[in-house]
Chains A and B, each alone.
Chain A
Amino acid sequence: MNKLLLTVITLAIALPLVATANPIQDSYRAAAKQENPGFKDFSAARGQTFYSAKSGDQACATCHGDSPKSNGKHAKTGKDILPMAPSANAQRLTDAAKVEKWFGRNCKDVLNRACTAQEKGDFIAYMLSVK
């Protein structure tokens, strides 16, 4: 009986972690520790703030839309952009090279600089938290 209880408790703790685990985010976690020895963890709340914060006249949300669960629209060309959140678009955050390519391009366009590993991980934490 005790053993069963222990299993249930372990599963209850472990399942949400497994559900949100993302190998790409893990590699940014390693990079964030390198960047900053005081690194604690990624935060979905910080990611959400980052997502909607305007730098100049642009934010992530300008093209990706206010909700990462909905389609966005390219600000210049008007082309539809499929939802950013994996809960709405299972292909998102599955290809590390693609993720890094788009962080590379879009951070430069929106922020005029590269994003830190902390920012990338926070962004992903927010995307994974959107259900």
Chain B
Amino acid sequence: MRTFFCLALAIALCPLAAAADGKYGGENRGKPLQPAQVNAKWQQECASCHIAYAPGLLPAESWRKIMSGLDKHFGDDASLTAQEAKEITAFLVDNASNRWSARTAPLRITESAWFRTKHNNREIPPDTWKRPSVKSPANCQACHTGAAKADFSEDRIRIPK
């Protein structure tokens, strides 16, 4: 009876354990960040106003949320035709982070645990983000010179003055 109870408890706790599994409490970016073959519509449309953020930077549910609210996209109207939105959503969802086990789905890449850990206040003093040359944490390519090609390797980081 006691064994059964323990087993039942272990099974009940299992989903909790899984949710917190992996690095960064389960909020980890995907590997690879982006497939070798990218979708041309995604590249063209998303890169009109900012870099086309790699699909692996967020989980699938985040992309679904973002793509269903394009008429109010962080304060700007970024509406697409239904056909364009469908094609781009499919590309994002199919290539979303494969290492995100948490049940969270942030709208901002900068809110994820891996992002905050990698850009902690010790490594990146808060003032850095406010420099005119950087503008905001959403401006990846200000420091990650290969960001537009999903290249975030340490060798390619140049933090501007």
The docked-state distance in angstroms from the alpha carbon of A105 to that of B50 is: 15
Out of A78, A104, A105, name the residue touching B76 (CB < 8 Å): A105
Which residue from chain A places its CB closest to the CB of B75 in the assembled complex? A76
Can you list, as one digit per residue, whether each of B64-76 has a CB less than 8 Å from chain A (1) or not (0)?
0000000000111
Assess the B77–A74 pair: CB atoms within 8 A: no
CB neighbors of A among B107-138 (8 A): 135, 138
Give the secondary structure class of A's interface: helix
Are B135 and A78 within 8 A (Cβ)? yes
Q: How many residues of A contact B (CB 8 A)?
A: 11
- Checking B51, B76, B79, B81 against A76 with a beta-carbon cut-off of 8 angstroms, the contacting residue is B76
> Which residues of the other chain, A, contact B50 by a CB distance below 8 angstroms?
74, 77, 79
Interface residue from A77, A104, A108 paired with B49 (Cβ < 8 Å): A77
User: Number of B interface residues, CB 8 Å?
Assistant: 13
Chain B residues whose C-beta falls within 8 Å of the C-beta of A104 in the assembled complex: 77, 79
Interface residues of A in 47-99 (CB under 8 A from B): 74, 76-79
Verify if A109 is at the interface (C-beta below 8 Å from B).
yes
B104 at the interface (CB under 8 A from A): no
Is B135's CB under 8 angstroms from A74's CB? no
B139 sits at the interface (CB 8 A)? yes
Q: Which residues of A contact B157 (CB under 8 A)?
A: none
The 21 listed contacts between A and B (C-beta, < 8 Å) are A74-B50, A76-B49, A76-B74, A76-B75, A76-B76, A77-B49, A77-B50, A77-B139, A78-B135, A78-B139, A79-B49, A79-B50, A79-B51, A101-B81, A104-B77, A104-B79, A105-B76, A105-B78, A105-B79, A106-B77, A108-B77
Chain B interface residues toward A at CB < 8 A: 49-51, 74-79, 81, 135, 138-139
